[in-house]
Amino acid sequence: MQAKSVLAALFAITAASSAFAQSAPAPKTVSDSQAQYIRARDAGEIPTSVAAYPATPAAAPSTVTREQVMAEFYAARKAGQIPQTEADFDVAQTRHQVAK
């Protein structure tokens, strides 16, 4: 019984790796990349000067004053919503926020 499951697992791995190998694109050569760049540059798809780059959108001005932000911060800290020291952290909650 165990031999059948091992054989099935090997078959699945082989099928998956052959499917991946077939779907992987062929690697580009340097000359392919250069030709693609020259085609895009000549078609005007690549900005060639600082004036050709799109303008960065301006950030919207804040409607909240510094005093209002600070008052909100102090109220949240007083309510216990913001940890003040390392001892205030709930370790069980921080483990869920670790980047995977």
The tens digit of pLDDT for each residue in 65-94 reads 999 999 999 999 888 888 777 776 666 665
Q: What are the extents of the domains in the chain?
A: 66-97
- What's the pTM value of the predicted model, to 2 decimals? 0.31
Which alpha helices (DSSP H) does the chain contain, by range?
2-23, 30-42, 66-78, 91-94
Q: How many Å apart are CA 37 and CA 47, to the nearest integer? A: 12
Q: What are the pLDDT digits (tens) for 22-54?
A: 666 778 899 999 999 999 988 888 877 777 777
**C-alpha distances in angstroms, 28 versus 17, 32, 99?**
21, 6, 33
CA distances (Å), origin 41, targets 5, 19, 51: 55, 36, 15
43 secondary structure, DSSP code: T
**CB proximity list for 37: less than 8 A, separation 6 or greater:** 46
Of residues 29 and 100, more confidence is placed in 29
Tokens, residue 33? 């990349």
